Every structure is written in structure tokens, then in C-alpha cells.
Structure 1
Amino acid sequence: MVKVHPFKGIRPTSALAAQVAALPYDVVNSQEAKELAVGNPYSYFHIDKAEIDLPEDISPYDEKVYQKAADNLADFLKAGWLFKEEQNYFYLYELVMNGRSQTGIVACTSIEDYIDEKIKKHEFTRHEKEIDRMNHIRTCDANTSPIFLSYRPKTEIQQIIKAWQQEYQPVYDFTSYHEVTHRVWVIDQGDTIEKLTKLFTEVEALYIADGHHRTESAVKIGLEKRENGEQNPETEQFLSIIFPEDELAIWEYNRVLKVAPPADFLEQLKENYSVTKSGVKKPKQAGDCQLYDGEAWYTLTIKAEKIPNDPVEKLDVALLQKYVFETIFDIQDIRTDKRIDFIGGIRGAAELEKLVDSGDFKLAFSMYPTQMKDLLAVADAKKIMPPKSTWFEPKLLSGLFLHDLETK
């Protein structure tokens, strides 16, 4: 049983939505954001990566950056590029990539549900990243980026979503990064809002797909507001976009190594994997991964007796970590070891070949994507997935929805 709340969204006008919308703050660096925002005063990067409007030598974590973000948000509202709804609404956000569609409900979710573990996580967070988003939220007095959540589908909810999309026109409909189409509908009828709110009380749990740092930051700001006597209904909730898990696509998160393999590398691999020179660049099933050494592609298939029952330890990324990176290369902590790097699946096998052929890396491992059922199982077991286990595409754009905390 979870709580979802309609809210007075801060959002762009229909005419400017495509120009405002930007990639999430954590998938581009400051220089990339600056380049993407060139010639576009409406870009949400001016709020989410406000260092682009300050001298180049400034740290993105300087307090002046957060104040610039708040100032730019105020300017966007004053100019009418963004506006705040007068009533509490839900929204629908559809993304279409390569013909595949996913539609989420944009709503506010409950801090108490997160504390009570009804909103479940599968990743650890880093304190310094939390501090960054907390500063951004606190200074802007708004949830400035949505949390990407998922749930096990419920027929009645999906029927309402489909019916609304068929009956009403979207307020936004544009194509952006990576040729992804983005559409947004406003659910502004009280009876439908009431039905959806009630139906979600029958959903047992929500799951963080992406945005663990944003979630921790939003929750901690809410708790801070309680302590400071600034609590109100808005500070007790945070901005989320909630998708049925069967519509989501997890892409592979590939690995590359800078360390040269030992002379008997293939023989060592055969202790735990069957090894075949196959020429195949992308695994076709769980239990397989592809290895590229600069000369050939190999298929590595884990031996059945090596697969444990534990929901974390049986993941392909965990098996590779245990039997290859730790055992053969003594890479014990992939978060900190400089000999390993990670490449999002959207960049394809060609990127892996390029990195190895350049000589910058010695080996590349092309992974089979972690499945949503695996993510949910890990979260249900209150366990943590290995780092860099999931890469979601398409990315939810920022700037289409903000949630005002209403404490200033």
C-alpha cells in the first residue's frame, strides 16, 4: 500500500517544452552541459547545471552555483517560460525509443513510504553526491529532478492511462536526444485523480529504478524541514515518475579493463566458464558474456554449478566480478579501482572495440542486461546490487516537471 499525491506542477509552456527539456544532471558534465545549452536561454541546464553561467574555474559544488540555480529558476518563472499550476494534478509522461513505448504517472510520493521501505532501493549512495542535490533542492526550494520509480503492473491503472492517452491530446509532443519522442498529458479531472490515488493504495511497493541519490537527498531535505519547523504537506513528499516494470528496458552496462591479462588467461577462465571463440559481440542470454581482447570475440558461458541461488550473487555482473575481476585480476572494489571502467550499452559493441583497439584498454566485456525481475527480487530481499548493474534508456528529461516545497 503506497501513497501517491497530485501536485501543482511547475512546468514549461507548451511552446517552449522542447527547448527547456534537458538530459539529467548526472549524465553530462559541466562542459557538455554548457555546449548543449549554447544559444538556448531556455535550457534547463541553466537551472540543473547552473555553473555553466558562472566563470569556468568555479566548482560545480560552490554555494554560488546553487544560488545561481535558484536565481535562474526565479527568472524562468518571471519570464513565463515556466509556470506553476493553480490546482493539484497528475501527469502522464510517455517516452518512445526505437518504436518501444513506456508511460509513467508523474506524481509526488511519500517520505514516510520510503522510510517504511515501501519505496525500495537496490543501490548504495555516496554522501558527497547527496550533499550536492540537497544543496540544490534546499536553495531552489523545489524538487528539481524527478525520481524514476517502477511498480508491478496493475490492470486498472494501465486501463486508465491508456484511455486517457486515447481520449485527450498531449500538452507536449516533441523529439529530442537520441531521437526519443516525449509526450505529456495533464490529468486534470477530479474523479480520475481520485481513482488513481485509490488504486495506488492497492500497490504493495514502489521500486527505485534510477535516482537513488535524488531520493535520499529529497527525503533528507524533508526530514530537515521537519526539524526546522518548516514542515508542510509539500515537504512530506517528493517528485517521482512511476512506470510499470513490464514497460521498462534495462540496457547492458559493459566493462573494460586497463590491465593486461596473464598469459594463461583463457585457461583460467575455463575453470568457471566455457569459452568459445565465436565472433559474437552481444550476449543472447543470461549466463553469457562476450569478451574482446583486441583480436577476437569470445563467448563466456558460466558453468551451471557456479551459479548460486542468492538474488545478487547469481547476477551476471556479480559472477564476472567474482570469477574474473577478483580471482584473476585482484580487482576487489570496482567503485575505486582505476583499472576498470564502465560503458553504457547505448554506445554499442563498436565503442568497446574502439577502446581496446586504441590500446587504452586491454579487454572488454559485453554483458547481458540485468532484467527488471532481477532488480525487483534484489530490492524485495533488501539487498544491494553490484555497482553499475543497470543502465536505463531512454533517459527521463529534466525540466518538464518541478515540485515546489513552498517554504519560501
Structure 2
Amino acid sequence: FILPQGDESERYARARDLLEQWFTDGVLLQEGEPVVLVVRQEFAWPEGNAQVRTGVIGAMAVEPFTHGRVRPHERTHEGPKEDRLALLRATDFVFEELLMVVPDRKAVLRRALEQVTADPPLTTAVLHGVRVSVWVVGGIAAEEIAAAAGDAGAYVADGHHRYETAVTYHGENGRAARVPVLLIPLSDPGLVVRPTHRIIMGAGLERLAVEAKFREWFQIKELPLSADYAEELAALKPRGTACVVVVPPGAAFAMLLKSGAKLDDIVTGLHPTVASLDIMRLDELVVKKLRAAAGGDARVEYSADVDEVIDAVRHGRAAAGILVNPTAVESVLAVADAGEVMPPKSTYFFPKVPSGLAGMWYGD
């Protein structure tokens, strides 16, 4: 439904037909009263750390980013928005919730959600390794949760293209004044951003040659093959901008940006909130230089999986891998507050919101 197959002339019509069939078969049920859905997602990192993220699905009023109450941190592209808009026009239905963060400065929303999750959930399922539990809340309790979410605005974590599409569609269809969102309180301990590592495709690079390129900027430490690269990165994070570079046949070294490094020429013209991001500095200082060394047209790929990056280098599919630390949620919000955008592939809010937990129908 969300990514219908077939040529352009028929795939959106097929999605509409499937939606109508789901309504007929009772796959989709409409609530008789306004409700919110409290959603708890339990998951674990590859490192074994257990996490719990709790939020609430509700209907948020659609308004342009220029109003300033809903703030983005990514640049969007026309192709994906055109596809989403065509699907909306064909179905009058939104089947995916956007992921947003609300300030919740006094933790009022977080405490309200904790009260709900103290009771057994309506349903629980495991989807892609994530345990998802859902509570349906109506009446006064739903109104109290909506009030706790407040009107202080929200930050788009995932779903920029879909939100902009919703704004466009609202201009065509007055009934489409709201869009389903999963709101996560900023104070929730499970609200985290995973790192997205960089893979430079192309011919392999020699370790000594790579190290020589960066000694002006970085303190460099060679790492044994047995090293835990994620631990090495975490240990360096409090000290500044750092990464681990892996080159064939698997040699690796940790790099920590020197405290006196002059970056004015590297991040010139950028807003201070963007220029100070570790991922921006690494993209400009490391990724660009390695890409040039591997060939000016070397492709850059991305992965959240450390093992996938290392495997690509060790098996000769990549010239180098750059492992990075995650970007702090607060840094993402600071960029949004400044009206700026993050570098590409610099935020990966995990886990994704499961599609189909709740939807909104704008039809008659």
C-alpha cells in the first residue's frame, strides 16, 4: 500500500482498491470516538544495551514550516514528495505516522504516558526485532494527554517528505487538516540517534598514505584487529570530534581532531550550530579527502551497521570505511531552532515507527 508496485498509471489506483478492500473486510476499523494511542517500543542495540522508547500517536494540525511551530532539520527532494502526493490524492488516506519530538520541558507528557503504561497494553507484537506495545486511550484521559503534549511546537525527527506533502495536500483538500504523528517527549530516555557510518567505494587505500593525509588535523592511534571500534569511539566522544577509519585489508586507526585545529576554511559560510557538528567536520575533513584519494567520482554509501562497513572494506568492495559517533538529539534540535539543516545521512532515529498502527482517512 505505502509503496505500491506497477507502472505509474495503475499503481496508485491499485493502492486505492486495496484500501477499499481492507475497509470492506474489516482489516481497518474506525474508532467511534477521538482517541490517542500510547506506544512503547522495546529494543536493543547490537552492543546489547536494552532501550525503551514511549510516545503517543495523535492527530497534529498541519501548517507550513514557515510558521515556526513545526521545525525540520533535513532538506527534502521533489521526487519523494511527488510520489507521496500522488498516493494521497488516490486514496485520501495516511497510513504512516510521522516521528516528532516535543520539548516537554517539565516532563508532564512523559509522566502522563508512564501512568498509562502502568496498566497492561491492549496488544503487543514483535516487529523487526522491536517489541511494540499499544494502549488505546479515549475520553478525558486522551484530552489530558493531548494537553500535556502542549502547544510549544514539535521537531520532525523522521518524515520530512511526508509532512511537506501533507501541507500541500491540505491546500487541495480542506478535510486533510491533521496528520497522524508519534510524539516522543525530549526527556524520554529511549529517544536516541544512531550513527550512520560512511563507506567510500572504489579502489583500496593504503594505511600509511591515508594516515599522512590527516596528521595535520588529527591525533592518530592505530587499533588492533581485535579492538571494539564502537567502544573506542565512545571513549573519544567526550574529548571532541573523532572517527575510526578502516582501510584494506582491515587496518584501522582512531582519529581525534586536534584541539588547536583551525577549521575556518573547512566550514566557511556555515551556521555555527552546523559547523560545530562532529558529522559535518568529518564529512568535510575526512570523507571528502578519502573520496578524492579513491577517485573523484568514488561513490559514498551509508550504513548504521559497523560490521557491514568493516566487511565491505576487508572483502575489497570498498576503499575505506569511516565509523562515527551518533549526533546528540539536542544538537539536532539546535540546528532546527536555527532554521538550518543537518548534513545528509546524519540522523537515524531508531527504531522506526511501525507503519499502520494508526491512520487518517480524509474521504467522505
TM range (shorter): 0.7 to 0.9
Q: Distance in 1 between matches of 2:84 and 2:298?
A: 26
Match of 2:335 among 378, 383, 403: 378
For 1:194 and 1:350, locate their aligned partners in 2 and report how far apart those are by CA, in whole Å: 46
SS state at 1:162 partner: helix
The answer for the alignment partner of 1:299 in structure 2 is 254
Equivalents in 2 of 1:122, 1:350: separation in Å? 28
User: CA 1:199/1:392 → structure 2, altered by over 3 Å: closer, same or farther?
Assistant: closer
User: How far is the alpha carbon of 1:236 from its aligned partner?
Assistant: 1.2
Q: Aligned with 1:356: secondary structure?
A: helix
Counterpart position of 2:136: 186
Alignment of 1:359-398 (within 5 A): 359-398=316-355
Q: Percent identity?
A: 22
| Amino acid across the alignment from 2:170 | G
1:256 is aligned to 2:199 = yes
- Pairing partner for 2:114 from 129, 142, 162: 162
Cα distance in 1 for residues equivalent to 2:108 and 2:273: 30
Match of 1:81 among 19, 22, 27: 27
2:3 pairs with 1:49: yes
Partners of 1:76 and 1:126 lie apart in 2 by: 31
Q: Name the CA distance, whole Å, in 1 between partners of 2:36 and 2:197.
A: 36
CA RMSD of aligned residues (A): 2.1
Could you tell me the TM-score, scaled by structure 2's length? Answer: 0.86
Aligned partner of 2:163 among 190, 212, 215: 215
Q: Which runs of 5+ in 1 are unaligned?
A: 1-46, 52-57, 226-230
Structure 1 position 149 matched with structure 2 position 100: yes
CA contact (8 A) 2:107 2:185 kept: no
**How far apart are 1:338 and its partner, in Å?**
5.2
Higher mean Cα deviation, 154-163 or 356-365?
154-163
The alpha-carbon deviation at position 245 of structure 1 amounts to: 2.5
Are 1:204 and 2:161 matched, yes or no?
no
Q: Distance in 1 between matches of 2:307 and 2:10?
A: 41
Answer yes or no: is the 8 Å Cα contact 1:317–1:386 preserved in 2.
yes
Give the residue type in structure 1 aligned to 2:325.
Answer: Y
Letter in 1 for 2:221: T
Q: Which residue of 1 aligns with 2:47?
A: none
Matched, 1:224 2:172: yes
C-alpha contact (below 8 Å) 2:98/2:353 kept by paired residues: no
Q: TM-score, normalised by structure 1?
A: 0.77
Determine the C-alpha separation between the residues in 2 that align with 1:342 and 1:329: 13
Q: Is the 8 A contact 1:219 1:238 kept in 2?
A: no
Paired position in structure 2 for 1:97:
43
Counterpart-to-counterpart distance in 1, 2:220 and 2:292: 21
Distance 1:187 1:258 in 2: 49
Partner of residue 278, structure 1: 223
Matches within 5 A, 1:51-70: 51=5, 58-59=6-7, 62-70=8-16
In the alignment, which residue of structure 2 is the partner of 1:38?
none
Aligned residue for 1:311, secondary structure, equals helix
Distance 2:144 2:292 in 1: 54
Aligned partner (choices 152, 161, 185) of residue 244 of structure 1: 185
Residues 105 and 114 of structure 1: CA distance in aligned 2, closer, same or farther (over 3 Å):
farther
Shift of 1:342: 0.6
Q: By how many angstroms is 1:330 displaced?
A: 4.2
Whole-angstrom distance in 2 between the partners of 1:101 and 1:369: 18
Q: CA separation in 1, counterparts of 2:108 and 2:64?
A: 22
In the other structure, the counterpart of 2:267 is none
State how far apart, in whole Å, the 2-side matches of 1:50 and 1:128 are: 15
